[in-house]
């Protein structure tokens, strides 16, 4: 690289935007040149979030897309779903790169998008160009991409765990995915449901059979999924401060054991510095705050049933961290740059 990468963030005051700022401030090859959100006037970012006082003197600005494009090589879009697609065409037209953390460019089929996000897609042209940014699976495409659709947090957690087993055509029958997430996954919103007293010491399941991340997983796993496979995905809210912990119950066509699963996972992820594989079940806190994705598993005595656990930080590997990992690849950097020691 000659010079620093000039980077901007649109939507810098949500949980994901804030985490992006945090990560990018310590990234050795990045200069944060533009951050914007729904502020009314240019405001010190540390006045919005006092934790950044003396860490950065950046100002958060009312979003002006032209200014954003002009001042950056790449823009992270940490905007609500259905908003990103207004800006993406303009950014691409100027030859700048985009990593969109919303769902707007995740589905190849705009019809699926419409079903789950209740809106006609406004930028079908670029939809085709977008690369799904699950780094470990699409590294080569990501390196050449101009537009990345950064994965949802649940799908990241699920796909990383399932992909190798499905690619090996080992799995049969119903795959049960029971996922637990921090409330931060629902965004920084003032609602009585997210009041401290409603979340502390609480736990609940929601959107059974209808969560919008289910089709995302299905699309990405795509041809790996045969008709003989079915899914049951249940998202849940837990009171840990950050993280997603997915437990995946599945059955095999033929007998396996720990060693075999170890070999398979290592085969697919040997060049993936952020995947940590273990034949013990991980604890969530070991991944919290990091860009690691921890995969652990157990096989029953007979060898035809397994439980795979996938544990990661929903705001890091599940959002901002993976976005930066993708940025690294897009600019020819080591994928771990600025991410390994979070």
Residues tagged active-site? 153
Binding flag, residue 128, a copy of itself (CB under 8 A)? no
Going across the sheet that includes 147-149, the strands are: 43-44, 59-62, 30-37, 5-10, 74-77, 97-100, 147-149, 131-132
Question: In whole angstroms, how close is the CB of 61 to a copy of itself at the nearest point?
Answer: 21
Tokens of 149: 């659709």
By CB under 8 A, the residues from 309 to 328 that bind a copy of itself are 309
Question: In whole angstroms, how close is the CB of 281 to a copy of itself at the nearest point?
Answer: 5
Q: Which of residues 149 and 333 has its CB atom nearest to a copy of itself in the complex?
A: 333
Out of 109, 124, 129, 285, the residue judged to bind a copy of itself by CB under 8 A: 285
Out of 33, 44, 48, 55, the residue judged to bind a copy of itself by CB under 8 A: 55
Q: Which of residues 130 and 157 has its CB atom nearest to a copy of itself in the complex?
A: 157
Q: Quick one: which H or E segment has residue 197?
A: helix 196-199
Q: Applying CB under 8 A, what is the total number of residues that bind a copy of itself?
A: 73
Question: In whole angstroms, how close is the CB of 144 to a copy of itself at the nearest point?
Answer: 27
Binding flag, residue 337, a copy of itself (CB under 8 A)? no
Out of 4, 44, 199, 229, the residue judged to bind a copy of itself by CB under 8 A: 199
> What's 133-145 look like in SS3?
CCCCCCHHHHHHC
Asked if 67 and 34 count as a contact pair (C-beta separation under 8 A), the reply is yes
Binding flag, residue 44, a copy of itself (CB under 8 A)? no
By CB under 8 A, the residues from 19 to 38 that bind a copy of itself are 25-26
Question: In whole angstroms, how close is the CB of 206 to a copy of itself at the nearest point?
Answer: 7
Side-chain half-sphere of 107: how many Cα atoms within 13 Å?
A: 24
Binding flag, residue 109, a copy of itself (CB under 8 A)? no
> How far apart, in whole angstroms, are the C-alpha atoms of residue 101 and residue 81?
9
> What φ, ψ does residue 52 adopt, rounded to 5°?
-90, 0
- Please choose, out of 94-102, 143-151, 283-291, 323-331, the segment that lies near a copy of itself by the rule CB under 8 A: 283-291
Write the binding mask 219 to 248 for a copy of itself: x where contact by CB under 8 A, - elsewhere. Answer: -----------x-x-x-x-xxxxxx-x-x-
Q: Which of residues 201 and 332 has its CB atom nearest to a copy of itself in the complex?
A: 201
Q: Count of residues for the chain?
A: 342
Q: Which of residues 120 and 193 has its CB atom nearest to a copy of itself in the complex?
A: 193
> How far apart, in whole angstroms, are the C-alpha atoms of residue 317 and residue 295?
13
Write the binding mask 154 to 173 for a copy of itself: x where contact by CB under 8 A, - elsewhere. Answer: -------------------x
> How far apart, in whole angstroms, are the C-alpha atoms of residue 70 and residue 269?
38
> How far apart, in whole angstroms, are the C-alpha atoms of residue 139 and residue 142?
5
In terms of phi and psi (left: phi > 0; alpha: psi -120 to 50; beta: otherwise), the region of 294 is: beta
């Amino acid at each position: 690289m000659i010079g620093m990468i000039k980077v901007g963030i649109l939507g810098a005051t949500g949980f994901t935007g804030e985490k992006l700022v945090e990560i990018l401030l310590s990234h050795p090859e990045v200069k944060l040149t533009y951050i914007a959100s729904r502020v009314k006037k240019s405001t010190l970012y540390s006045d919005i979030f006092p934790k950044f006082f003396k860490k950065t003197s950046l100002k958060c600005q009312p979003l002006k897309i032209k200014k954003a494009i002009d001042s950056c090589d790449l823009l992270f879009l940490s905007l609500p779903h259905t908003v990103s697609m207004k800006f993406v065409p303009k950014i691409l037209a100027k030859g700048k790169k985009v990593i969109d953390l919303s769902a707007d460019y995740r589905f190849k089929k705009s019809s699926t998008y419409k079903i789950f996000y209740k809106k006609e897609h406004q930028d079908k042209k670029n939809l085709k160009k977008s690369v799904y940014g699950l780094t470990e699976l699409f590294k080569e495409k990501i390196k050449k991409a101009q537009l990345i659709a950064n994965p949802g947090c649940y799908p990241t957690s699920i796909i990383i765990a399932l992909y190798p087993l499905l690619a090996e055509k080992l799995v049969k029958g119903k795959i049960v995915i029971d996922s637990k997430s921090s409330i931060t996954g629902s965004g920084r919103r003032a609602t009585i449901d997210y009041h401290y007293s409603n979340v502390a010491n609480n736990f609940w399941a929601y959107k059974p059979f209808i969560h919008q991340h289910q089709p995302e997983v299905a699309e990405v796993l795509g041809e790996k999924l045969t008709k003989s496979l079915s899914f049951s995905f249940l998202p849940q809210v837990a009171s840990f401060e950050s993280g997603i912990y997915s437990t995946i119950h599945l059955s095999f066509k033929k007998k396996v054991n720990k060693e075999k699963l170890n070999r398979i996972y290592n085969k697919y992820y040997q060049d993936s510095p952020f995947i940590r594989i273990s034949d013990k079940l991980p604890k969530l806190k070991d991944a919290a705050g990091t860009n690691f994705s921890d995969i652990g598993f157990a096989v029953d005595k007979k060898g035809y049933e397994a439980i795979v656990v996938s544990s990661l930080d929903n705001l890091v590997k599940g959002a901002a961290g993976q976005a930066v990992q993708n940025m690294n690849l897009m600019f020819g950097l080591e994928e771990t740059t600025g991410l390994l020691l979070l």
